[in-house]
């Protein structure tokens, strides 16, 4: 195996076809792991971090592994090697690897990663899905090089396994939840004229995102209201351009008469429809606008033959009332002796 460390952001585009081919072989696939997503994140949020994109190839030149990482120097010269991405906007991160080459890629990748981070630093790999091969890929090699390795579950992405018919989906819900969902949908639909409009075309997406931003900033929760900064809005606009062109980004708007009362950014990718981010008009809480919009999107996902509906990070109660079950996220921390006594203390 040959490892090349790429530090120029042009690699996101240069490796695109090989990257997507490798991702398609993974047991878990997500739009967050595409070169398009990571390229946009890098352009908006990288700051002064150094890109360390480790590409692992077999002797025949085929890309067998890819670790999209970045190097951050913190206090007192200590270094942190982590995934390209952050907890604010990236729900999944991972090392990409051909499942038939896990041990070989791991043996080649670990020394390259440790060389990049140096003797005074550590690795922090967040948001690994339960299907991730990264722990198997890296744990043994990191420990063999004297690092203290910890793998722990840190959060969850509640997900629905979708049947092929809406009524079959409703039948999977607990009786109380099914009755409550039907009651809320019926009450909302008899109170006002509701309709949902879905935008997928790029130019229209960019325009309709302004409605989403407005609703998002109306939130009665301070952390949610303050999330949509000008920088985050620009990030969403670029996502709409790049992912919308691939069919991986859409915006659903729920209207009461002619007033937009809820919006949801959806990420359809592979066999999964992910509910990425939503905004709601606070004056229409009595209509259960969020419940109505999520139900519409789940029904649409069923009709389009998606096999999973992913609510992404967070264990909010409403997700389980829709029949979601936990899909744990873990993190891998690998510490050198210096980092344990340094900024990790």
For the chain, domains (ranges, CATH) are 2-155+328-341 (3.40.630.30), 159-321 (3.40.630.30)
Residue 73: predicted pLDDT: 78
Residue 129: predicted pLDDT: 96
Residue 338: predicted pLDDT: 58
Global pTM value: 0.94
3 state SS for 191-246: HCCEEEEEECCHHHHHHHHHHHHHHHCCCCCHHHHHHCCHHHHHHHHHHHHHHHCC
Residue 191: predicted pLDDT: 85
pLDDT in tens, the chain (345 residues): 999 999 999 999 999 999 999 999 999 999 999 999 999 999 999 999 999 999 999 999 999 999 999 999 775 678 999 999 999 999 999 999 999 999 999 999 999 999 999 888 899 999 999 999 999 999 999 999 999 999 999 999 999 999 999 999 999 999 999 999 999 999 998 888 999 999 999 999 989 999 999 999 987 677 777 888 999 999 999 999 999 999 999 999 999 999 999 999 999 999 999 999 999 999 998 999 999 999 999 999 999 999 999 999 999 999 999 999 999 999 999 998 655 444 343
Helix ranges (DSSP H) in the chain: 11-14, 16-23, 35-45, 102-117, 134-144, 166-172, 175-191, 202-216, 222-227, 230-244, 289-303, 317-321, 337-341
Whether residue 122 contacts residue 103, with contact meaning beta carbons closer than 8 Å, is answered with: no
Could you report the per-residue pLDDT of 158-216, keeping only the tens digit for each? Answer: 999 999 999 999 999 999 999 999 999 999 988 889 999 999 999 999 899 999 999 99
Structure tokens at 289: 């606008």
Residue 139: predicted pLDDT: 93
Q: How many CB atoms lie within 10 A of CB 318?
A: 14
């Amino acid at each position: 195996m040959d490892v090349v460390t790429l530090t120029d952001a042009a690699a996101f585009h240069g490796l695109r076809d090989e990257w997507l081919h490798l991702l398609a072989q993974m047991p878990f696939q997500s739009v967050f792991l595409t070169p398009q997503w990571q390229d946009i994140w890098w352009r908006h949020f990288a700051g002064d971090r150094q890109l360390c994109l480790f590409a692992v190839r077999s002797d025949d030149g085929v890309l067998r592994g890819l670790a999209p990482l970045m190097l951050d120097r913190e206090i007192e010269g200590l270094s942190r090697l982590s995934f390209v991405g952050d907890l604010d906007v990236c729900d999944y991160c991972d090392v990409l690897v051909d499942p038939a080459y896990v041990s070989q890629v791991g043996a080649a990748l670990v020394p390259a990663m440790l060389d990049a981070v140096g003797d005074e630093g550590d690795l922090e790999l967040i948001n690994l899905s339960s299907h991730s091969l990264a722990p198997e890929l890296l744990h043994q090699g990191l420990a063999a090089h004297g690092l203290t390795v910890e793998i722990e579950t840190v959060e969850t992405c509640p997900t629905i396994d979708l049947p092929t018919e809406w009524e079959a989906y409703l039948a999977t819900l607990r009786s109380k939840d099914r009755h409550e969902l039907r009651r809320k949908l019926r009450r909302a639909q008899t109170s006002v004229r509701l309709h949902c409009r879905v935008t997928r075309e790029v130019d229209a997406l960019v325009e309709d995102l302004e409605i989403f931003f407005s609703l998002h900033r109306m939130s009665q929760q301070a952390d949610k209201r303050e999330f949509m900064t000008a920088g985050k809005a620009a990030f969403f606009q670029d996502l709409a351009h790049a992912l919308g062109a691939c069919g991986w980004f859409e915006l659903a708007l729920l209207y009461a008469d002619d007033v937009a009362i809820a919006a949801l950014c959806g990420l359809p990718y592979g066999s999964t429809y992910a509910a990425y981010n939503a905004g709601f008009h606070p004056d229409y809480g009595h209509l259960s606008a969020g419940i109505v919009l999520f139900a519409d999107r789940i029904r649409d996902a069923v009709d389009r033959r998606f096999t999973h509906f992913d609510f992404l990070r967070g264990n909010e109660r409403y997700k389980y009332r829709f029949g979601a079950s936990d899909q744990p996220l873990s993190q891998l921390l690998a510490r050198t002796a210096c980092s344990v006594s340094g900024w990790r203390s």
